[in-house]
Structure 1
């Protein structure tokens, strides 16, 4: 049997070890997405009982939901420095600790103020995880499976949402919102244990001058030693720029283009309006004619399952069909579904709701979520982790991830207000208009990056190529 150069390990055995290591990394880092999804999903079921317990008005409900996004924006903003100094691994470990503290604190909160504080702390954990996990996965994966690995992170988010909906449904009969929030500490402990065994990112190690350690990690992740050495040489080439971080952003127009594109993509993802359905699903189904809490929660579980299964489309197609086609299809589906959902809610508001129209609204909600799950949800994270040059990656992803959570917070904090001012139909038609605009932006600005190394994309960027041509 042939051997791998200087190694005494048979080729097939080495490839099996490499596949196992890549699978372990993908699952472990993506587990942060599970907690992300649990935090997103759990509040939709717990909110009606929290509202009853603390006698909250609509603005206080908005703050219970959006306080997590405020914390996430802070976490993403601060984590750029932490990730740069301590590395991706220790960033994920800190997120796991904050998940544990925030979950237990929220569960035992004795008043609204304490609940909001611990919700902000949970948000910091989510911000760190949403920043670090896609970045870590993009730096560990080869160009041929990078999209699939980051999509696995998004898949774990949807699994978390489904588990949160199922947990909320089971606990909705007793109304035990404290258990709904506190149970999140269990997967947080599991995340901490998994991250202990993860290697550091080779690109972070190389950026810190630890080239021997970087090559050792690459040898664990690549089929041959030659591939590992070649990739390390490409990383070294990309590190030759003198400036880094904000100074590079300030002095280099091409870096600014990449940073602003990342921020635009994250804003687009949020203004599709899909996270609104996640946060306020029971209220939406109540407007559509589902009156009992159990009916609303069952419909919400159906939405969560749709989210999870539609994400599989992205997992298996994003590295084959590419990023742009998937985005264009997804935005088109969301535009159509929000248009029809707005009509259903208009009729419900006029008192003309019927059983058939109620189920049409459920179907359109599922179509909205399906279009989002197969496109903008995973693909935006993939693109944002791909387009930033290595010496400005922490700064660029800090900007884009913070944009995501600021936009998320704005949407979560204004949804009920929008319902009161322009109505349910007008609110969803507003998102229809956004989704149509995003199709145009995708065509003219978004690059196709499938099967391209991070260093190849960076070379095109620094050569001044148009944003949409970065993957050529």
Structure 2
């Protein structure tokens, strides 16, 4: 019999796995669809980016769904919609049908990407909050790698429909796991169900004292009368935290790392790998670097802090993007030495390592931490929607950017953006490790500078 704590972890892990599978699967599917349906670069961008459009819509909708029905119900709905969207993509016979079901897939992922980190942040003790959300990121990365491996296997026969169809299995497992999860005590309290909130806290905390103390903090945070959009309209401090969450998600996407997920085979083709198998092996290596780095570093998330990781990660990504652009410039210039292709893969791996140790987990952790309880659904909805809108822009412009300003300049553009993000992190991002959510909220609402809202007192 699974304990409640373990079920929470398993269900959130499965939500992350779906997220990652949907990100990774399109890299292997796209070349076969392009060949079979004879579609243009713009059509390819739409197949990639309509998932993000659906995710943005899911994030917006889930602000109401999660607040009204709870995080658990939202995750069940996410699993059902994912199964529907995936089967629709598997049996699509034309571009229009594919785009419709990609939106449905994305809608489900928008719900999961919103609800899972929020649920984990509300269920976890403050000493383990960062680690648990980081492990959710590990599962996203694992999903990406599994998708790449599945793409490689089914790619040997060109069976792109099977690449989609196998994703139904984890969707069913998610629905099963979530049905056994407890409700979030903070959500229960926000709906006035105080006795239930207290019962859940006593079931998931190590001691009576810890559960009682956390319950008292939740009760105090509920004294704010306004909530959601009303709180946003009337409270400038809440508007600051919402704005910071949106900026963080924009920064995460415009590091440029997701283009290495969505368009990895295309990038490695430019680097000199001509066969689909070579391109997919290189893609799998990048995905493995993502998983291994996140898994190794996840236990230390609550030790070394959010802010230092972001600064170091942006520096690594900026340097890696610059070098990758330089290598591709040399290859385009006629230097086809095999070592350059391997160096391009190495630079992509270095970029992903920088991302895995910083923006990938830290942005989701911070966005779940910095919003006050009465505005948490609205605030996380805004930041998650920003993530998917930025993601959609990224996916819908990458091929066009390379055609208009050149491959090298495209990668150098992302290198420059990473440099800018270091400055933003220094000036505005708080350090929140080991600080209770209610303390962060108290600092924010008292008017502390954004970079200081994570101070313990």
What's the counterpart of residue 10 of structure 1?
none
What's the counterpart of residue 37 of structure 1?
20
Does the CA contact (< 8 Å) of 1:312 and 1:374 recur in 2? Answer: no
- After superposition, where does 1:243-262 map in structure 2 within 5 Å? 243-262=226-245
| Residues 1:138 and 2:151 aligned together | no
User: Which of 374, 382, 388 does residue 371 from structure 2 map onto?
Assistant: 388
Q: Residue 405 of structure 1: CA displacement?
A: 0.1
User: Gaps (5+ residues) in structure 2?
Assistant: none
| Residues 1:416 and 2:399 aligned together | yes
CA distance in 2, matches of 1:410, 1:184: 25
| Residues 1:88 and 2:88 aligned together | no
CA distance in 2, matches of 1:220, 1:27: 17
What's the counterpart of residue 241 of structure 1?
224
Q: Residue 229 of structure 1: CA displacement?
A: 1.5
What's the counterpart of residue 432 of structure 1?
415
CA distance in 2, matches of 1:231, 1:426: 51
| Residues 1:217 and 2:212 aligned together | no
Does the CA contact (< 8 Å) of 2:429 and 2:450 recur in 1? Answer: yes
Does the CA contact (< 8 Å) of 1:99 and 1:188 recur in 2? Answer: yes
What's the counterpart of residue 123 of structure 1?
106
The CA deviation string for residues 300-334 of structure 1, in whole angstroms up to 9 with x for no partner, is 11011001001124312210000001111100100
| Residues 1:62 and 2:45 aligned together | yes
What's the counterpart of residue 427 of structure 2?
444
The CA deviation string for residues 229-272 of structure 1, in whole angstroms up to 9 with x for no partner, is 21111101000111111111111110000000000000000000
| Residues 1:176 and 2:159 aligned together | yes
What's the counterpart of residue 189 of structure 1?
172
CA distance in 2, matches of 1:123, 1:313: 29
The CA deviation string for residues 213-244 of structure 1, in whole angstroms up to 9 with x for no partner, is 00111011111122112111110100011111
Q: Residue 164 of structure 1: CA displacement?
A: 0.3
CA distance in 1, matches of 2:10, 2:347: 32
CA distance in 2, matches of 1:109, 1:471: 48
Does the CA contact (< 8 Å) of 2:4 and 2:181 recur in 1? Answer: no
* Structure-1-length-normalised TM-score: 0.95
What's the counterpart of residue 362 of structure 2?
379
| Residues 1:328 and 2:286 aligned together | no
CA distance in 2, matches of 1:21, 1:371: 34
What's the counterpart of residue 214 of structure 2?
231
Q: Answer with 361-370 or 227-236: which moved more.
A: 227-236
CA distance in 2, matches of 1:224, 1:94: 33
Q: Residue 22 of structure 1: CA displacement?
A: 2.3
What's the counterpart of residue 55 of structure 2?
72
* Structure-2-length-normalised TM-score: 0.98
Does the CA contact (< 8 Å) of 2:49 and 2:395 recur in 1? Answer: yes
Q: Residue 20 of structure 1: CA displacement?
A: 4.4
Segments ≥4 residues shifted beyond 6 Å: none
CA distance in 2, matches of 1:167, 1:282: 14
- After superposition, where does 1:257-336 map in structure 2 within 5 Å? 257-336=240-319
Q: Tell me the secondary structure at the aligned position of residue 161 of structure 2.
A: helix
CA distance in 1, matches of 2:357, 2:13: 17
What's the counterpart of residue 11 of structure 1?
none
CA RMSD after TM alignment? 1.0
CA distance in 1, matches of 2:337, 2:6: 48
CA distance in 2, matches of 1:248, 1:314: 36
What's the counterpart of residue 148 of structure 2?
165
Does the CA contact (< 8 Å) of 2:262 and 2:395 recur in 1? Answer: yes
